[in-house]
Amino acid sequence: MRRPHATAEQLGALTPLAGLSRERLAELADMAVIERAPRGSDPLHGCEPGRSVFLLQGELLLAFDGGGTLVVVGGTGEGCHALNRRRQAVVRSKAITDVDLLALEDDLLDTLATWDQAVRGDARFVTGAFALSSLKSGALAQLPAAHVEELLRRFEHLRIKRGEAVIHEGEEGDYYYLVASGRFQVERLVGGAKVVLAELKSGDAFGEEALVSEAKRNATVTALSEGELLRVRRSDFNELLREPLLRRLSFADAAQRVRGGAVWLDVRYPSEYQYDKLPGAINVPLAEVRNMFAVLDRSREYVAYCQSGRRSAAAAFLFAQRGFRVWLLEGGLKRAAERSS
């Protein structure tokens, strides 16, 4: 049986969400599943950390650490605040009636608050690349909150015609692109033949590999439909996106992290990997990184490396955009070898 979802009206009554636009509340409603608990139960028992719980309907008794109780009525007054985010810790709860509860991830609430403050109701930044699904897992998901407003100010909007090539393989990297709407195809010449690598949609990004690795464009991106792109110059990309997402480690610190359970991620060609791979390393060539988003275990930590640090910087950035915990071996194997000699 499909569980019911909260309505936009119910969400708008909750204190952390009261200032959100109707469009954003409607988006959130699609993923806000109501949990129902019977009368007499303790619905807050075993509440997962990192989530805020709200009472939408019914009556609930809260008992506090150090004494004292409070009856909360859903959808009004105290019910509009998170039950488990009070000054006094709740040690026990009891449903006086059947109750409807809603649990929302704290990170999601923080993301919504950050972007709502940044866009200030600007309709251009609540759909497409800035849809809630994109902000949770797309290219902007890991953007430091302090940089959101400035990045939005520097974005340049481009209308693209169907069939138009946005970047060409072999060109110098000059811009970072974010797909606001439309579909785009990524292709590369292999042995003189065009090979399609990926299809990009709203919320996806491209152009970052050449900027991070300071190399030529390694693919051509062409519009499959009319669309809109957002782009920022290399200098803005480096300041607001690249450096905040690249977490660098010396070889000693990286090795210590691997001993603690992280995995070496070798992003070189297979022939290089076979020659002098680090113990336990897995091989994910830079060109294959996007294909590994759905394959690698997101619960693990990784340390990316290559020979010089250029390719691994690009790989680490791509993974970090998608929420992976990836560290960068500073200077690559070359610097590690120099320091050990």
Out of 56, 306, 328, 336, which one is annotated catalytic?
A: 306
CA separation, residue 96 to residues 38, 93, 201, 218, 274 (Å): 9, 9, 48, 63, 65
47 catalytic per annotation:
no
Q: Who's near 294: CB < 8 A, 6+ residues apart?
A: none
Paired residues of 328 in beta bridges: 248, 304
Main-chain phi, psi angles of 219, to 5 degrees: -160, 165
From CA 15, how far away is CA 12, in angstroms rounded?
Answer: 8
From CA 44, how far away is CA 90, in angstroms rounded?
Answer: 9
Q: Which of 209, 203, 253, 249 is nearest to 230 (CA)?
A: 203
Kind and range of the H or E element at 322? none
Q: Which of 147, 217, 148 is nearest to 186 (CA)?
A: 217
- One-letter amino acid for residue 5 of the chain: H
In degrees, to the nearest 5, what angle opens at C-alpha 210 toward C-alphas 225 and 319?
Answer: 85
From CA 253, how far away is CA 64, in angstroms rounded?
Answer: 44
The token pair at 110 is 């923080």
The DSSP-derived string for 128-163 is GGGSHHHHHHSTTTT--GGGHHHHHHH-EEEEE-TT
> What are the catalytic residues?
306
